[in-house]
Structure 1
């Protein structure tokens, strides 16, 4: 429950507890809080037990942690034999390399390499870019949108 609280946070909580409740009342407040947490845990355990008993013997291996979507998907992916077979036969890296090689080869065969743009340095960097040529207008109508 408190696995992610560091030493500095714990010291801060203790100092704030002493300042708010005082050293005389702090032990009683800690007892009340721990008792409350214990009652909540007992309530949740009894609710889980009631749900399991109402579901019947078909769901005797039911785990509430499986209701977490990440856990459910991870369990389904690791236990399903059909998915294991598909995953074993499919190599994503090989497929991506094949596709990227095909795209690179078709791009180099069909079009010449574009001319390099001139480097912009110094005061030219702050100037507005030149207006595009008339044949390079965009395909949508700015007034219609």
Structure 2
């Protein structure tokens, strides 16, 4: 409960409680607070038991902690019967595909042709510029430079 509260903070809180409530009223205050906490716990446990009894026997293993989103995901997705964490990780991990590409590049660099490109390397040519046509359907040479018309913009 007080995992992140150190001993110095606890001593400071105790000292402040003695100063605020006095040494004679402090034990009575502690008893009232602990009694209130006990009653609250009893109330929540009785409410949980009532909800479980209303749900019926098919929800006998129902736990209220399972309603927390982290617990729900951890129970049903990561450890459940459905899609597991390992399948998600392997589906999103590009490592295997990158290893195959790296092997193909190494094989090509060593002089061996990879299985997928048995016909040889593919040469890419620069695409020609725009081609215009005359009225009779004959193509003309592409224009070297398209003129800029400042009035058109």
TM-score for both structures, normalised by structure 1: 0.60
TM-score for both structures, normalised by structure 2: 0.57
Distance 1:3 1:53 in 2: 35
Structure 2 unpaired stretches of 5+:
106-153
Question: Which string of whole-angstrom CA distances, capped at 9 and with x for unpartnered residues, describes residues 58-109 of structure 1?
Answer: 110000000100110011123333413961882644448729x79xx9xxxx
- The structure carrying a bigger helix percent of its residues is 1
Aligned to 2:75: 75
Runs of 4+ with deviation above 6 angstroms: none
SS at match of 1:61: coil
Preserved contact between residue 76 and residue 82 of structure 2 (Cα < 8 Å): no
Higher RCO (CA 8 Å, separation ≥ 6 residues): 2
Aligned to 2:35: 35
Aligned to 2:90: 90
Structure 1 unpaired stretches of 5+:
106-145
RMSD: 2.9
Comparing 61-70 with 3-12, which one deviates more in the overlay? 3-12
Decide which structure has the larger Cα Rg and report it.
Answer: 2
Counterparts of 1:1-145 in structure 2, within 5 Å, are 1-84=1-84, 87=87, 90=90, 92-95=92-95, 98=98
Aligned residues: 102
